[in-house]
Amino acid sequence: MLLFLCAFAASAALTLLTVRSERGQGASILDRGRGGPQNFHARPAPRIGGIGIFSGLLMTTMVLWWWADVEVTWLAVALLLCGTPAFAAGLLEDFTKRVRPRWRLLATAISAALAVLLLDATITRTDLWGLDWVAAFPLGAAFLAVFTVAGIANAVNIIDGFNGLAAMCVVMMLLAIAYVAGQVGDEALTTVALVGAGAVLGFFVWNYPAGLIFLGDGGAYFIGFFVAELGILLLQRNPEVSPLFPLLMVIYPVFETLFSMYRRRIVRGRAVGMPDGVHLHSLIYRRVLRWAVGNRDAAALTRRNSMTAPYLWLLCMLAVAPSVLFWDNSRVLGGFILLFAFSYIVLYSSIVRFRAPRWLVSRR
C-alpha cells in the first residue's frame, strides 16, 4: 500500500507540473479541439499526461530499488525499458501530430518484442480452439504476445475520448491483476500492478472531471502496453490462472475495437483506420445525455463530457468483476465473454436507433 501511495503522489505531482507548464510552453502540447468527429473537449489542455504516469513509475521504481527485492525491481525496470518505444512514439505524435497510427503500432509491437526477450512474456496457452496449436511453438507464442499487446494498447487508445474513461478502466484492470496475483502468491506482480494503478490514479485526479490534462497517445499506448504485459506475465508465471481471465478483463476496449473495425469495413465500406464519431462512448455522449444538447458553453460541455465516462466504467466493471470472481474457470469466463459481446451489440443497436433504455437516459 505504501508503494501504491508513493506512485500516486509522484504521478499526481508530476502531472500537476505538466498542467502548469501550459502557461509557459503550451503552444505545442495543447489539444485545442481540431473539430474532428472524436473531439469532445471544451477547453484547450495539455495532451501529454503520459509523462506524469511514466515519470511517476520511474520514481517509484527508484524507491523499489531500496525497499523491494531484486525480482520486483527487475520486473518494474524491465517493463519501463520495454515500454519506452510505445511511449516515445505516442509522445512524439502528441507533440508533432505527424506520427501515423501504423508507426505507433509498430513501436508498440517493438515494445512487446522486447518484453518477449527480457521477460519471456509469451502466450503459451489460450484455451481457444486453434490458437493453442499456434501457442505450442516458441515463435507462435511470441507472435501471439506481440499481436495481443499491440492490439490491447491500440484498443485503450481508442476508448480514450472522454475525461477519465480510459484511465479508470485501466485502474480497474490493474487492480484485478493485483488481486489475482495475490490469490496465487505472486508478490512481484501484485506489487507492480498496484504501483501501476497508483500512477494512473495520480493522473486521473487531474483528468477527471475537469479535463485539465489528457492522456494523449503516449499515455494511452503506454498504459495499454503495461496492463497487457502484466496480464501475459500473470499467465506465464502462474499456470493455475485461466488464459481467459485477462481476455475477459480487457474485453470492453478490445470488443469496442473489433466492432468498430467491422462497422467501418463491412457495414460502411470504409478503411478500418478512418476515425468516426459513432463509437459507443460517442453515442452515449450524443444520445443518452440528452439534457445537455444545445448548450454550448464550456462549463456545460465539460460536465457533459465527464458524465459520459461513468456509463462506460460500469460497462467495463461488468467484465472486470466476473473475471476476478472466476479467474481460474475457463468455461465460466468464456460464457461471460459471449454474454458481454451479446450485451454490447444489443446496447449499441438500441442507442444507434434512438431507442436507448429509459433507465440509461440522463435527465435533470
Q: Is the pTM of this model over 0.85?
A: yes
Cα–Cα dist 32/214, whole Å: 11
CA-to-CA dists, residue 285 to 101, 135, 194, 277, 306, angstroms: 25, 40, 31, 10, 9
Number of domains in the chain: 1
Sign of the C-alpha dihedral computed for residues 320, 321, 324 and 329 taken in this order? negative
Peptide bond before residue 101 is cis, with ω within 30 degrees of 0? no
Task: List own/partner pairs for 296-302 with CB under 8 A and 24 or more apart.
Answer: 298/42, 298/43, 299/42, 301/40, 301/41, 301/42, 302/41, 302/42, 302/43, 302/163, 302/209, 302/210, 302/211
pLDDT at 13: 96
Domain of 209, in residue numbers = 2-360
| pLDDT per residue as tens, the chain (364 positions) | 789 999 999 999 999 998 887 655 545 555 545 444 445 555 678 889 999 999 999 999 998 888 778 889 999 999 999 999 999 999 999 999 899 999 999 999 999 999 999 999 999 999 998 899 999 999 999 999 999 999 999 999 999 888 999 999 999 999 999 999 999 999 999 999 999 999 999 999 999 988 899 999 999 999 999 999 999 999 999 999 999 999 999 999 999 999 988 887 776 667 666 666 677 877 887 766 654 445 566 666 677 788 889 999 999 999 999 999 999 999 999 999 999 999 999 998 888 776 666 656 655 4
DSSP secondary structure string for all residues of 279-314: SHHHHIIIII-GGGTT--SHHHHHHHHHHHHHHHHH
pLDDT at 23: 54
Q: Which grid cell sits at 70?
A: 531484486
Per-residue pLDDT reduced to its tens digit, 307-362: 889 999 999 999 999 999 999 999 999 999 999 999 999 998 888 776 666 656 65
pLDDT at 269: 67
Q: Residue 216 region, left (φ>0) first, then alpha (ψ -120 to 50), else beta?
A: left
Per-residue pLDDT reduced to its tens digit, 186-238: 999 999 999 999 999 999 999 998 889 999 999 999 999 999 999 999 999 99
pLDDT at 185: 96
